Amino acid sequence: FSTLQSLTSVAIESGGLSGPVPRRLFTLSNLQRVILSNNALNGTLEVTGNITQQLKIVNLLNNRIFAVNITPSYNKTLVLVGNPVCLDSDTSSRFFCSLQQEGLISYSTNITQCGSTTCSGDQSLDPATCSCAYPYTGKMIFRAPLFADPSDRTTFQQLETSLWKELGLRPGAVFLSDVLFSSDDYLQVQVSLFPSTGTSFATSELIRIGFAFSNQTYKP
């Protein structure tokens, strides 16, 4: 593992892996994410020693882990649902036997200030005004993100600000949702942009925004 210090993410889902998880894996200094769900990894999971502070999520959903040893300093997301360890009455109530953990809930722009307002048809709620409008929507794909936490509020709020500033929109007129890492480890973010005036973009504005993305004039 000494030659893998620059590794930030390990993702092998349904890969037929078996045997114990190497304890030294979690000490890699830049590791942020370990996704090894739906395999046959077994034995005791050792999340101990000098665990990197960068590590945000360890997901071993549906494996054969029957015991776990966790250092008290690790307080991020750990998923062991579907493993024998979560059938044990002594551990079944531990946090790692629940899917309701912060790191499993991907980021979505906060619209709680809009209360119970709903929109009909193809309109969506504009976070900047809490009114309904027709957004410009699309999916942003990041091939080599420098982070691996889909719930990282600070990072995605910075992306929101960057979008409305660089594209000349009303402050806050950006809604992000459906943040996830694809099977090839690309980060995908669903983006909705809202018009500064009225309920829909003018054709010229649609062309301008489309040009900014297609020609990579906008770079987050």
Q: Class assignment of domain 112-214?
A: alpha beta
pLDDT, tens only, 140-196: 998 877 666 777 788 899 999 999 999 999 999 999 998 887 767 788 899 999 999
Cα distances (angstroms) measured from residue 42 to each of 22, 45, 59, 74, 110: 11, 8, 14, 21, 39
User: How many C-beta neighbours within 10 Å does residue 118 have?
Assistant: 10
Report yes or no on whether pTM surpasses 0.75. Answer: no
Write down the domain spans for the chain: 9-104, 112-214
Q: Identify the bridge partners of residue 189 per DSSP, sorted by sequence position.
A: 140
Instruction: Give the position of tokens 């980060």.
Output: 187
The strand ranges marked E within the chain are: 9-11, 18-19, 33-35, 40-47, 57-59, 64-70, 77-79, 124-125, 132-133, 136-142, 174-181, 187-193
Task: Mark 19-55 as b/e (b = at least 16 C-beta within 10 Å).
Answer: eebeeebbbbeebbbbbbbbbebbeebbbbeebeebb
Does pLDDT of 5 surpass 80?
A: no
